[in-house]
Chains A and B, each alone.
Chain A
Amino acid sequence: MRMEHWWFTVPLRLRSILRRGRVEQELDEELQFHLELKIDEGIASGLPPDEARYAAMRAMGGLEQRKEEMRDMRRIHWLTDFVDDVRYAIRSLRRASGLTGFVVITLALGIGMTAATFSMVDALIFRPYPVPYPSSVVSLVSTSHDNSFDNFSYREYLDIRGKTKSYDGVIANGVIGPVGFSLEPGAMPRVKGGLLVSGNYFQVLGVEPQLGRGFREDEDGVPGRDAVVVLGKDFWKHELASDPSVIGKIIRLNGTDFTVIGVAPETFPGMQVFARPDFFMPLAMARVFSTNPNKNYFEDRDDRELSVKARLKSDTTLEQARSELAVLAQDFKREHPQFNRNRGASVLTQFEIRTRGDDVNWKFGVIFSILALAVLLVACTNVAGLLLARASTRTREIAVRLALGAGRFRLIRMLLTESLILACLGGLAGIAVGYVAIGLLRTFSIPTTLPVTIPFQMDTRVLLASLALSLVSALLCGLAPALQSTRTDLVTGLKSADVDLPGRRRLWGRNVLVVAQVATSLMLLTASFLMFRGFQHSLVDGTGFAKVAKDHVLMASFDPRLMKYDAARTQQFYRLLGERVREAPGVQSAAFTQNPPLGLGDFDRIAFVPDGFQMSPDRENFTTTMDTIDEGYFATMGIPIVSGRGFLKSDTRDSPRVAIVNEQFANHYWPGADAVGKHFRLESRAGTPVEIVGVAQTIKYESTGERRTDFVYMPLTQHPVARMVLLLRSSGDPLQLLEPLKDVVRTLDPNLPMLEMRTYDDLYRYAAVEGPGVAINLAGTMGAMALLLAIAGLYGLVAYNVTRRTREIGIRMALGAGPSDVLRLVMSKGLVLVGIGSVIGLAMGFAVEQLMNSMLFNAGGVDIVAYFIVVPTMFLVTMLAAYIPARRASRIAPTEALRYE
């Protein structure tokens, strides 16, 4: 029945919409036909033609009303009305093209900045894992005093996998790390990024390789047995030209032959935000890729290197999984107390992992979202102010419409359609702005040979978000003016062309806008100014060494395991390499480090117990970041030793263990005393004692934005590491050392690859110039935009208000007021508004500063300078905005002003 009903009615509705003119014409014709017959009937009954006509009209009861009734019957008036509104809006917007242009540009900037920021936040935080049913994938973390998001060891992973029942599968992966790749045995290996994953990785994630197969469970069973590899999609595409016959071929990774069994699908770039693995290898092959030959990865329960994820069963809640894992963590504690003191475990969703408090992406996301939304808010208040001003020039038009019987709701709809069109135009232009802005965000380069991409993009999610923003801004900008202008008092509205009503409400709305605008832009300015200064400050403090090092230091990394060197031969190689390069021409000094400061690698962590420090009894040890270096390090990098000594040639494998700590470490554990000569023990209270022989200046280690952190240096001779970075210092251009270095390496082993050869300047630029530069530029752009929008908006509003009072000013001057009285009158009100706005803005700015300090810089106190610069600027702008029109008004001859409308 229902379907059949539609069968008849849908074509009728369509006809009413599409052939509107024809339907109307038929209506006319039909009624006309009836009318004529009726008149004929009247004439036939003896009435004169005129009377017959009147009688017929009376009997019909008003033709136009009938027509209107029938139009309503068609139930499409909402649509035809909308089309009418759109037509009307386009016409009236075109008439005010200057205003339209300004509004569209303003909205475009607001929406564009927000879209760009959202693309960033989306990529860093919201975008789900690129797997089927991503929401059921949870992260399992080990928790301790120092780290609430710790990884698990291989043994622990196996226990979790065997003993939990909440999951359809538990997977593990290492961190993406450098892998030496070559196609043929003799070829020089190149560095690519590889990821160790558990055998069930692809199967549990539901990722089906586009070629070949994923791992079988048993391929991850026996350490070192199954050398198989799944290729990343980008690697396959770019390095192997999408070779379809790659399955079954042999490639060499770190000198070991691996059989290619599959290629990851196009849709799966990996689970990380930035890193895109070139290879996926089974965990059981970890030996081939380990950086530390001393560690027994498969046995040591405290070698926590695996990030563990799991797919939650559909009938299990997160709480159930959490309590199950908590029980398991208790078991760990009981069975292996030495490795699990004060350790727990938890299950977190993707969102919880990405929004953890110490995550720098999250902090940036939050801060920039706030800034972007504030820019959008300023843009919207701007537009609302303009529309309000415009609406009051239409008082008479609206009054006429109301008088003719237009409903208030109908008029509001008409006005909202106008702002909707404005918002759509603004949204389209905003998407263009966002596109450009995202392009700029993507341009900065990360100096690494590892496969890293900047995942910001203008995708459907960003487009949808921008669209939603446009709609919201249409409502925000349009509703207030629409409500206000339809509240017109008919009599006054009709009488005067364009006059403010004496009512306070109307003025109140505009005043609120001015205050809101001053406040929001003040907050934005403060925030961006603080960010600017915060970054500047973070670039100065603790990076002094880098400003010299960047012009004189060349770096090259070595990993002799790529050529199957054993541990002893590796250390022999480094000793010889160090000796020979120091004699090479142009080399002032040379040094080894595991990871240069501000480099891209992660520092190892060291567990220690400081002598003489009151450690709570439930604590096993402290941990902090560390680096392994040789005796040339401090001189080569230009990092001052504050007291004690650097490492010496006499610190050998057989001499007593020594270490150097930074000032922060020394003050932390031995406040007020000299740390030199003190000891700490490795791992536990009963561990090997290590003597502190020197204290080095605290510098920035991982990023310029970090807080002052404890740091320990260990000598390479006593703490052998396989993969090291050679640092060479020249007196001039460091690139001149490249050829001499290559010569030296060739004499030692012509096949050994030198990885990541670059100047320290590359690292420094990324860490201290380009990376923070993006943030500084973004903050600066937003601040500048806020200021610009605020100036334009304020000027518009204040100037408009003053212009509206021209007649009043004329009267005042005719009654004897001088120009200065007029100026005072006009400006005092503007200043009061700016004053109120500033107070609110300062309060908000202060709140933002607290937030930013707690999240990024930890600078502590209030940045007074920022306020001293920002507040007067805002005052000046508003005074100008009030002054210029006020001055113009005070110059008008009273006669003219009185006639002014």
Chain B
Amino acid sequence: MSKPNDLVQGTLDVLLLKILALEPLHGWAISRRLKSLSGDVLQVSEGSLYPALHKLEQEGWITAEWKQTENNRRAKFYSLTRLGRRQLESESANWHLLSSAISRVIRMSEA
């Protein structure tokens, strides 16, 4: 599968879970949100967004529902499941652990 080149593997999952934790969104809106949230630092190719969403759905972390958008078009809205919320919590805990460990290492080498 194609991986987002400039994202640590697995980070995209956390980002998506985090975005959906705020409110249910459809794919297009998620991609807009990703762009605006991470600015130019994190770039996600729009093509790889859907396989990632699909994977989260198959894992049971998010669930999808067809609804009308504000422009009256049918779109697939994703929202977080209970399982997904738990996953997000453990993933972010992991992330904190990892990033603080890495920054400690980096500080050490500068000293």
Contacts and interface: CB of A to CB of B under 8 A. Distances in A.
A187 interface: no
Nearest to A26: B76
Contacts of A8: 59-60, 63, 81, 83
Interface string B54-97: 11011110010010000001111000010100000000000000
A490 B84 CA distance: 48
A69 B2 contact: yes
Contacts of A13: 58
Contact of A70 (B45, B51, B74, B81): B51
A5 B58 CA distance: 10
A75 B60 CA distance: 14
A12 B60 contact: yes
A70 B31 CA distance: 18
B30 to A, nearest CB: 10
B58 to A, nearest CB: 5
Contact of B50 (A12, A66, A75): A66
A59 B47 contact: yes
Interface residues of A, number: 27
A33 interface: yes
Nearest to A58: B47
Contacts of A29: 74, 76
B48 interface: yes
Contacts of A26: 66, 76
Contacts, number: 72
A26 B59 CA distance: 18
A62 interface: yes
A9 B81 CA distance: 12
Contacts of A9: 58-60
B82 to A, nearest CB: 8
Given A33-B27, A59-B46, A70-B51, A5 B60 contact: yes
A758 interface: no
A335 interface: no
Nearest to A5: B60
Contact of B48 (A33, A61, A75): A61
A38 B32 CA distance: 11
Contacts of B54: 69-70, 73-74
B18 interface: no
Contacts of B66: 26
A60 interface: yes
A61 B57 contact: no
Contacts of A66: 47, 50-51
B65 to A, nearest CB: 11
A257 B66 CA distance: 86
B1 A69 contact: yes
B73 A59 contact: no
Contact of A33 (B47, B58, B63, B75): B75
B58 A34 contact: no
A452 B28 CA distance: 81
A31 B45 CA distance: 14
A21 to B, nearest CB: 16
Contacts of B83: 4-5, 8
Contacts of B2: 61, 65, 69
A60 B46 contact: yes
A38 B26 CA distance: 14
18 contacts: A7-B60, A9-B59, A29-B76, A30-B76, A33-B73, A33-B74, A33-B75, A33-B76, A34-B28, A59-B45, A59-B47, A60-B47, A61-B45, A65-B2, A66-B50, A66-B51, A70-B50, A73-B58
Interface of A: 4-5, 7-9, 12-13, 26, 29-31, 33-34, 37-38, 59-62, 65-66, 69-70, 72-75
The 5 closest A-B pairs by CB, nearest first: A8-B60, A61-B47, A70-B54, A69-B51, A60-B47
